[in-house]
Structure 1
Amino acid sequence: MPTKTPSPGGVQSLSRAFALLRLLAEHHEAGLTLPELAAIAQIDRTTAHRMARFLESAGYVERESGGKRYHLGTAAMALGLRAMNRPPPNSALVSKMKALARLTGDAVFLTVRIGDHGHCLHTEEGSHRIKTFHLLTGTSRLLGQGTGSMALLAKMDNEAVRAHYERHRAEYAAGGLSLLRLLRGVERARKLGYALAGAEGVAGVGIALPLEMGAEAAISIMSTASRMPAARRHEMGAIVGAMFAQGS
């Protein structure tokens, strides 16, 4: 019996539905109205309404109580939380992390952005093992407190960085991180194309990269400061950038 293939119309509907989810993910905090969804997605309002109603019935989209703004629903969040356990072991991203760890001998980290924090989703250890590094998997830190999370912070404009700092001023101050120092790190990361870090006997480099559905992530490589002097950090920045370049 011949296998049925999806109709072009069905594929188009899926594409539009995922586009709406992606938009709602990008505007989750403030939400979007139906006219805004239709305008940004460049589809007619009737189609947007039909898809939003379907996604709402499935729990992937929620509407404000008594309001007209849409946000991601709990079903979408549950999917994301399940994925936060770890990436698929045979994914292209993890395969590249393994290759980088073998090439350099150092630990490679995958950090994803969750709001104002960077969450360490996965670690690949190199031959030069550092006992505490594997413990970082599953932990979260404020953006800017770490190499990968600094690379993610550098994707934000300065106004957003300042607002972010003000939201967490007490936490940054407790760690001795001023707004000026944070902005300097951001500017350096933008200029170089990768973030540099070195403190408390460890050092490394990180680079931000886009993931599916508008998610943000960063790859970083870390080692002891003695193995990662400034010259090697810049060398690693070029290697990581080339290996994880979009589409490579």
Structure 2
Amino acid sequence: MTELAQRRRRHSSVGLLLGDQGSKISASLAADLASGRLGSTLYLGDQGCRTGGGRSTDGGGKRMDRGSTNGRVKSLSDAKVRTSTVTDTKLMVVGMAGVGKSALVVRFLTNRFIWEYDPTLEATYKHAANIDDEPAVLEILDTAGQDETIQREGSVRWADGYVLVYAINDRSSFESVSAIKQYLDDVKKTNVQCVLVANKSDLLHERRVETSEGEALAQDMACAFYETSASDGGSDITELFHELHRDIKRRKMVENKGRRRSSAQQVRSVFNRVLNKIGNTS
């Protein structure tokens, strides 16, 4: 196993669980993310504690096991982020290396900006939030910068929706978006739910992609468009994740309604056949 593969394998166990007060998490989080020191650490925003070795304790000292599958954190019932009415949404952040995917995710989760981070780090974060007065849990997969990461079909199938990111000062990152979107559509065999994000709007003096170009591409893909800066922050970063959650929720409701209608039609069809058979034999 190469050194790079070993680093990826080690970093893939990172997990983060944040409540609505996630912005108050330890100030060392950004530095830990930047250096890759998290290892198998699990952060619990509600308890505000951190331990290594894959185990954590709550405020009352009760130990809680951390389980993981392919680098993803399993649900922790003791953390009390789930109720019967909580809506779970799985999001995948994709784009070329260096466009600021990790910076966007960390800004959303902690309202902080990281200057440096390990580009090989891939992790899934869980964020408990209240969206439109309803509880929700957003599970966000922050993909590593390497191209082969996007080729992992299992991760693509896992996600409900996608945040497609490019940098306004990197023309090639913008031109790659269409191919990435087509790949996601092919794997999911549908027109996937997504938002298009033009990052690094603070670097206007280095702009290589006009806002109108991003808007036109988003229109072609039938998705929302946001031009923002993970460095400067702003409410639009929170809004883009929440809006994608809303779109996914609406789509699931339509699909579930269609399945219920189809099931009802099948029941009626079977019932009618039984009645006709009884009528013919009488």
TM-score by length of 2: 0.26
Structure showing the higher helix proportion among its residues: 1
Specify which structure has the bigger relative contact order, considering alpha-carbon pairs within 8 angstroms and separated by 6 or more residues.
2
Largest Rg, 1 or 2: 2
TM-score by length of 1: 0.29
